[in-house]
Amino acid sequence: MFSQLITSLAPHFAHPGLVPLGAMMVASPIIIHLINRMRFRRVRFAAMEFLLASEQKNRRRLLLEQLLLLLLRILIVLGLLALIARLLLDPSQLSLFQGAKVHHVVLLDDSGSMRDRWGETSAFQEGLAVARKLAVDGAKRPGTERISLLLLSRPSEPLFTQEDVNEDFLTRLDTKLENLKGQATYQELDVIAGMEEARKLLADDRAAMKTLHVVSDFRVRDWVSQGTIEGELKGLEKAGINLNLVRTVPDTHGNLAITDLSGDVHVAAAGVPLRLRVAVKNYGKELAKDVRLAVFQDGQKLPMAIVFDKIDAGKEVDREFDIVFDVAQRHVIQLTLDPDSLDGDNARWLAVDVPPKNSVLIIDGDSSGEEAFFVAAALAPDVNITGYAPLVEGVDYLRRQPLNPFQSIYLINVPELAADAIEPLKDFVKSGGGLVWFAGDLVKPAFYNDKLYEEGKGLFPVPLAPSRRDLPANDGTNPGADFRFQADHPIFEKIFGEDNPFSDLVLVSTYLPVADSWPRDDNERKDGVRTIATFRNKQPVFFEHQYGKGKVITCLTSAAKGWNNWASGPGAPSFVTTQLEIEKYVARQDRAPERRTVGQPLDFALSPTEYVGQIEIRSPKMADIPVLLNATRGTDKPSDASKPGTDKNDTPATGSEPPARPLDANAPLRETFTETNAPGVYTVALLKQDDTKEERLYSYNVPVDEGNLEVASNDEIRKRAGEVRFDIQDAGSFQWIQGRELGDENGVRTKLLALLVILLLSEQALACRLSFHPKQLAAA
């Protein structure tokens, strides 16, 4: 009984080892009291009889006063014990005396920023150490505590759930933590979602005292910029959960990060320079000098380096560079920085699928093909220079040949289209192909309005007026260039800037106007059609809009013949550049290797008529050992494969669930690959029905924001939390673990000192009253 009482009391002290010794010292005043009562020898004589009769009258009062003095001395010993052993008692935790266990839930942040390193350790390793020390201290009092351990990347899948803390648990915990070393993810994780899962776990344990330890680096972006953090903290407090925030990082560390590696990879071609862009950001507080990036192609370092002389603190800089791929195949580009505190953002990958050429179909409504010639010449004076291979054909080509091989299609001065030509064209654009319209004297506005505009739902973006119109001559009333381009649009920003003379050299005489009833203001219509250029008289001429996955660019003047001098006049250089930029803008991008963020799953939905369903995946960490998956047809109900501990082929018990509907023979083959934490390029091979393999590349990079290692201060966190009460522990400090019930230690010590003073004064006063003090005789 005594040992159980001591065990239940020990968790309330920072130095629980002193509790048994202090409990034994409580007996010292009792022993002294008993000794004092036994040290006198009774001697009876006549004079004492009178004194004993007098004593009987005051015996009860004296006994009570002596017992009170004894109690005061016991309380003084207990008070000294509480001060020395550091009592940490919260009134809400008195349930411990009734035998309830403490339930600690440790939510361990394993996001990308927790890979922050300094010296021989990292933020994540410090977090693992916190979890272990918490368990080691709890094991000193077997049967009093339980622990649940959650990773922020998988909070709904605890590593341990309500485990009794003892030596056996410590052994299993050590094994698990050892396997976790260096296994922090590269992902950007949601701390609020993690705390929600922890709250749900603790809500199921109503009898225990509940404490949530959030072990994290507490970056500003998560704890200060996060707008909903206060609401979740209030939810924890309302649920009666003690919150303890444990830091793993002592201070903000400087960090350089590659934040972007991109380019127009969808128009890459063998032997043609591909322009790429790289951006580097200095997340530190000091100037970074002589920042160098190494460039790798297919694992081989290139004899080139990208150098930034300096990057100011908090600033991002970028640089463009060219790479030439000699061979038409899939390539991987990697850029790397010198090592620093965070390794994940020191490298960035880009996958490029390089074909021999990019095919472009040009349909000319005029049998002479003169305008198509100008456009084709602009796109490809030599296929080895631009990588484009234009094919000029008549309108019937749309009906007779597949359109899938082309990146984009130009329709120049086409009067009308047959119904069996419109549908393939729609399918082509919906699937991601690009479409460019140029007007001309053969265009029939009534047909375009009826069959192509389709009340704003078709391939053509605007309704046309019945007839063409001449652009009024520049008589000085409305001076300036005939074209007024939006200089910030990607097609025109590099061509028609404020200092570019080509705008003034392009002269337009005729155009097809939009219908008078069509609102000119894009914000008024809100139909998804954007006006990107107008004439001098403010009539729109260039438009862009989205149709399915494809982009459509429309010009209401001719491409080259008769209506302007753009292709053949002094402004011809801008015509060539504009056509190249238009093609780059509208060319289909759905076939370019995808760029993704680590952690995003790979979802496959394969046509059973084209693919067998066998999927082979090679990840950056295990390129030599592929993962084999088999895609299967899904049902109309959720797959059981998403539930832990079940197999997608398991059959539910009769009556447990409604039966699935019969499988559709044309339903896609589906499978999901979730192990995408490592940055780099993932290679996927899909087995087709003809026994060939289709290879796809996916480049995975770390989230940009994870490179920002700025640590939130205690004051910033408390300000964001509002009135919610919680504790914050400094990085590297483990003293709180020995008194982790998180009571108000300073408040308790102050009250104990005041109580001790009162007890000591009371004891002295009472002792003085009960003791004998003979009066001193005056000197003769």
Q: What is the 3-state secondary structure (H, E, C) of 284-315?
A: CCCCEEEEEEEEEECCEEEEEEEEEEEECCCC
pLDDT-derived band at 48, boundaries 50, 70, 90: low
Helix-strand-coil split of the chain, %, nearest 5: 35, 25, 40
Residues 375, 559 contacting (CB under 8 angstroms)? yes
What is the DSSP track for 556-579?
A: SS-SSSSSBSTTTSTTHHHHHHHH
- Give the Cα separation of 370 and 33 in Å (integer): 122
**Residue (of 123, 265, 256, 190) closest to 681 by Cα position:** 265
Residue 297 is predicted with a pLDDT of: 96
Indicate the DSSP class of residue 13: B
Residue 641 is predicted with a pLDDT of: 38
**Confidence (pTM):** 0.79
- Give the Cα separation of 370 and 413 in Å (integer): 11
In this predicted structure, the answer to whether residue 207 has a pLDDT above a threshold of 70 is no
pLDDT in tens, 631-655: 998 654 444 433 333 344 343 444 4
**Region of 538 on the Ramachandran plot (φ > 0 left; ψ -120 to 50 alpha; else beta):** left
Q: How far is CA 281 from the centre of its chain?
A: 18
Q: What is the mean pLDDT of residues 562-572?
A: 89
Residues 542, 554 contacting (CB under 8 angstroms)? yes
- Give the Cα separation of 231 and 22 in Å (integer): 44
pLDDT in tens, 148-206: 999 999 999 999 999 999 999 999 999 999 999 888 999 999 999 999 999 999 887 76
Query: What are the structure tokens assigned to 149, written together?
Result: 């351990």
List the beta bridge partners of residue 616: 628, 685
In this predicted structure, the answer to whether residue 741 has a pLDDT above a threshold of 50 is no
**Cα-based distances in Å from 521 to 420, 524, 542:** 34, 5, 14
Q: What is the mean pLDDT of residues 470-483?
A: 78
Residue 310 is predicted with a pLDDT of: 95
Per the model's pLDDT, the better-predicted residue between 723 and 17 turns out to be 723
Long-range contacts of 637-642 (CB under 8 A, 24+ apart): 637/661
